[in-house]
Amino acid sequence: MLFLNKEKGVIVNEIRVRIAPSPTGYLHVGTAHTALYNWFFARKNGGKFILRIEDTDIERSTKDMVDIIIESLKWLGIDWDEGPYFQSERYDQYREAANILEKKGYLYRCYCNKEEIEERRDKLISEGKAWKYDRHCLNLTEEQKERYEREGRLFALRFKVPEGITIFSDGLHNEIKRDNSEIEDFVVVRGNGHPTYNFAVVIDDSSMHISHIMRGEDHISNTPKQILIYNALDLDVPKFIHLPLILGEDRSKLSKRKGTVAVTDYRDMGYLPNAFVNFLALLGWSPAGEKEILSREELIDHFSIEALSKRSAIFDKKKLLWINAEYIKHMDAEELYKYVKPLWKKANFDLSLFDHNTLMRVIDLIKERARLLTDFVDSGYYFFREFDNYDEKGVNKHFLNDYSVNYLTLLSGEIEKLDKYSPDVIENLYRKIVEERNISAGKLIHPTRLALTGKTVGPSLFHLMEFVGKNRTLDRIKKAIDFINREND
């Protein structure tokens, strides 16, 4: 049997896991979470991680989504040992398996159309009875089949569910039982010849020798159907581990309607891949100890199925932001520059204003307060270009008062006298003015920061002034004084 052929290079008892996203949308955070756990498990145990694209939904699957899924996995640093395999290229195997099952009597042809099924279902429900497919086509005569086919009816192939109980052991939920009487005769091949999910996934996982299937717990209801197919084809059943779903902060299922769920969106918002991986890893898993910032190598080394939680984890955006900030804070400037440089170029910053070493110092200055990579643009533009807008609340608090113009004018005059323009010299100048005028430091520092950056918060003011430079500092202070005078007129 073709679909049972042993793949080249497959080792007996080798751990083989997979991730199988559908290219009908972006890579969902939940799918990325599952992919990570499979990847950790394979890497820790010397196994293989396989990428399969489940693209049998021809109408909704697109090449663009395939590209974005692969791009997302690469951004996360998840590499694969085999694939990507595409279900759309494996129809011969599905047809072969279906022929075997039909010959063995496990499948029967169903000519019922959607309207007929809905009519019978609605009638039964109106009588207060539960519905499952009523086996209308199970015992059709050859004459009835021929008549349906003369009418041009397409037929689906349904699996005849046997009597009994289906039992499987789950790596997280222990033993799970399902009475077969609760399972309807499910479709394995649609009228258009395309396999259904529950059928294709069994053939794929068997032919790819998948040893462990780690996926979301929303697939628990599918598992008994899949086991019935495994048994009917005399195939080894893999081990199942069903992971709790990730919930939004309102404790509902994470969905596009209630928040951001695409991995690429988090990349574009300014999250570092290692920080995002670290955060996802901790959703439903608690490594030993209290340490929360873990390298990729540590995550792999500590990972174990036994330590996974049975409870759904909450996607805590504040914690994600904190983890990202910690990664930024502790990253070397040169390493950060690889992420920051494209953002600066996209923002049309003139990087030629500074030499490379100075750019690294700018990064070191900004990163102490940065939480996202995009903060290097938002908190960095005033190093590279002029601006026209000031923070409105800052203007009301630090500009529109009876002292800012006088203090900024005084400061400007003192800065002009400086021969050396370094952080320690600038700081001493501020101390001198504050002490001589007997004023609070804030009355001088806050208006200066607003004048130089347009913002009320940012990196160390004295280092900032050094990078902006003496002449640009004076120009911006003058511009701020003119602005205040216009506002006060």
Instruction: State how far the Cα of 432 lies from the Cα of 418, in Å rounded to an integer.
Output: 13
Among candidate residues 256, 258, 345, 432, the one labeled active-site is 256
Instruction: State how far the Cα of 26 lies from the Cα of 23, in Å rounded to an integer.
Output: 7
Give the residues across from 169 on adjacent strands.
175
Instruction: State how far the Cα of 417 lies from the Cα of 419, in Å rounded to an integer.
Output: 6
Residue 480 per-residue DSSP state: H
Q: Quote the tokens at residue 69.
A: 């899924």
Name residues whose C-beta falls within 8 Å of residue 245's C-beta, 6 or more positions apart in sequence. 30, 216, 217, 218, 253, 254, 312
Residue 195 per-residue DSSP state: B
Q: Give all strands (DSSP E) within 89-164, no chain letters.
A: 107-110, 156-159
Please provide the DSSP assignment of 331-375 as one string. S-HHHHHHHHHHHHHHTT--GGGS-HHHHHHHHHHHHTT-SSTTH
Q: Quote the tokens at residue 489.
A: 């007129």
Other CB atoms within 10 A of residue 15 CB: 17
CB 294 within 8 A of CB 40: no
Total H helices, total E strands in the chain: 21, 12
443 is catalytic: no
Query: Positive or negative CA dihedral for 74, 78, 82, 85?
Result: negative
Q: Is 113 exposed, middle or buried (0-12, 13-18, 19+ CB in 10 A)?
A: middle
Catalytic residue numbers?
256
